[in-house]
Chains A and B, each alone.
Chain A
């Protein structure tokens, strides 16, 4: 079944995720929608960004002409030098992640299961994938927030009962923010927390592969 209602755009997803970042916390943003999240962190909310390339307190991207090959984030994007930056080895970069010092990470996903399993490193149809630091982040960050479209380009649900794509981590996802809903994986199953404006819980269920637990307190998605 398809629902012909308007979905939220990537910017709105990023805006909604930004509200989840802990003030004063250390945060690692993945590639794609997660990268957009930093644009929406309130000015009075200080958040420190960590990158696996070995830099803390990453700021904005470098402007054209000011690229420095020795100042990049994990996605290979050039960074501006900003006051308060710190550089460190790859061992330390992952001690921060694996050791539970990173408060939250925002990652994209191909699939998330009802109990919070994450598949985000390889599409089987593509046959190859790079694992990068995704698996370390999934295992080590205090909160793993997934920001993604609710359905893939063919309309297949990405929120599923069980992942059939290769896993990045088991039971690691804390919250899922999509273009139609905010969902919370739990050991009992996927709980629907919020719906996009104009959407009903049943409509969200109809485009979702997991059986949703729908309480009385489902709210409209606020940004």
Chain B
């Protein structure tokens, strides 16, 4: 049988996610989370998770917010963790001490993830100087600009979405799927992709591959395709 990274279901693809795992979750502010993978993690019953994502404030029912509400997330690293003006359920859990939150400027989150995925020991960024975000961190003046040292981020598992994946794990995206999904793909030991379309190797033009399959371990065909290109 030919080699393939394709798993039969989301449940099978996430079955070895363990308690205490650190998860990267792709997507932005909309209902574009890898919802089927997240639902499978929820159903799997794991707890004590750390979630790393741009937005935790998914409006829909099937984002990371469901894992947070279910008390499965102990720690959140995010640029936009709080829903709405008042912070909603996330604020309640944070204030009760059940959820630890590390707030990270969005571009710094991206660059820390890139460093983690690229094996770089940290990055000096000119962002946050003179604010609480630089407190307690090493700073350095580089070419006349004061910068702060930010540490690399790396996770156990990345849960991502793509428009198409082939059996080798090569990915293409549509629209802003590329934003966080491509950024996170290299930054986990186990990268699992929920794809709108799964193709045989050779059906994605190598010139058009955005994320090369070396960064992708498992692929699952999406069951419910919301994207208009599906």
B178 touches A88 (CB 8 A): yes
A70 B175 Cβ-Cβ under 8 A:
yes
User: What sequence of 0s and 1s flags, for each residue 154-188 of chain A, a beta carbon within 8 Å of any chain B beta carbon?
Assistant: 00000000000011111100000000000000000
A69 contact from B30, B85, B130, Cβ within 8 A: B30
Number of interface residues of A (CB under 8 A): 42
Which one, A87, A117, A131, A134, contacts B173 given CB within 8 A?
A: A87
A129 within 8 A of B: yes
Of the listed stretches B8-16, B151-159, B201-209, B221-229, chain A binds: B221-229
In the assembled complex, the Cα of A171 lies from the Cα of B130 at a distance in Å of 10
> In A140-163, which residues have CB < 8 Å from any B CB?
140
B96 within 8 A of A: no
Number of interface residues, chain B, beta carbon within 8 A: 53
Cα-based distance from A88 to B173 in the complex (angstroms):
10
Q: Which of B38-46, B65-73, B98-106 lies at the interface?
A: B98-106
Q: Are B175 and A71 in contact (CB under 8 A)?
A: yes
Bits for B86-116, please: 1 = Cβ < 8 Å to A, else 0: 1100010010000000011111111101100
In the complex, B50 has a CB within 8 A of chain A: no
B32 contacts the other chain (CB 8 A): yes
Cβ A132 vs Cβ B175 within 8 A: no
Would you give the shortest CB distance from A84 to chain B, in whole angstroms? 15
Q: How far is the CA of A93 from the CA of B228 in the complex (A)?
A: 23
User: Does B139 count as interface, using CB distance less than 8 angstroms?
Assistant: no
Q: Mark A66-81, 1 if CB is under 8 A from B, else 0.
A: 0011111011101000
Could you tell me if B105 and A68 are in contact, using CB atoms closer than 8 angstroms?
A: no
- The yes or no answer to A220 lying at the interface (CB within 8 A) is no
Would you list which residues of chain B between 128 and 166 have a CB under 8 Å from chain A?
128-133, 163
B107's partner among A70, A97, A167, A170 (CB-CB below 8 A) is A97
User: How many angstroms between the C-alpha atoms of A133 and B229 in the bound complex?
Assistant: 28
- Residues in B neighbouring A70, C-beta threshold 8 A: 30, 32, 163, 173-177, 227-229
Bits for B22-35, please: 1 = Cβ < 8 Å to A, else 0. Answer: 00000011111000
Q: Report the nearest A residue to B178, measured CB to CB.
A: A87
Cβ–Cβ contact B175 & A55, under 8 A: yes
Check B131–A168 contact: CB distance below 8 A: yes
Interfacial chain B residues near A169, Cβ < 8 Å:
129-131
The distance from the CB of A105 to the nearest CB of chain B, in whole angstroms, is: 12
- Shortest Cβ gap from A114 to chain B (Å): 15
8 Å CB interface, A55-103 against B: 55, 68-72, 74-76, 78, 87-91, 93-94, 97-98
Distance from A82 Cβ to chain B, minimum over Cβ atoms (Å): 12
Q: Is the CB of A90 within 8 A of B229?
A: no
In whole Å, how far is B111's beta carbon from the nearest beta carbon of chain A?
7
Contact with B29, one of A72, A91, A136 (Cβ below 8 angstroms): A72
Kindly name the residue among A78, A89, A93 whose own CB sees the greatest number of chain B CB atoms within 10 A.
A89
Do A91 and B125 touch (CB < 8 A)?
no
What distance in Å separates the Cβ of A142 from its nearest Cβ neighbour in chain B? Answer: 14
A136 touches B28 (CB 8 A): no
Q: How far is the CB of B158 from chain A (nearest CB, A)?
A: 13
Partner of A90, one of B57, B59, B183: B183
Q: With A126-B86, A130-B80, A166-B132 given, is the CB distance from A93 to B31 under 8 Å?
A: no
Whether B21 is near chain A, meaning CB under 8 Å from some CB there, is no
In the bound complex, do residue B87 and residue A131 qualify as a contact, i.e. CB atoms below 8 Å apart? no
Chain B: minimal CB distance from A58 (Å): 10
Give the CA-CA distance A136 to B123 in the complex, in Å: 14
B85 to nearest A CB, angstroms? 7
When the two chains form the complex, which single residue of B131, B163, B176 contacts A135, counting CB atoms closer than 8 Å? B131
* Contact A69 to B126, CB < 8 A, known contacts A53-B29, A53-B179, A130-B79: no
B110 pairs with A94, CB closer than 8 A:
yes
- 10 closest A-B pairs (Cβ-Cβ)? A94-B107, A54-B179, A76-B29, A170-B130, A70-B175, A136-B107, A135-B105, A90-B110, A130-B80, A133-B106
Q: Which residues of A contact B (CB under 8 A)?
A: 52-55, 68-72, 74-76, 78, 87-91, 93-94, 97-98, 117, 126-136, 139-140, 166-171
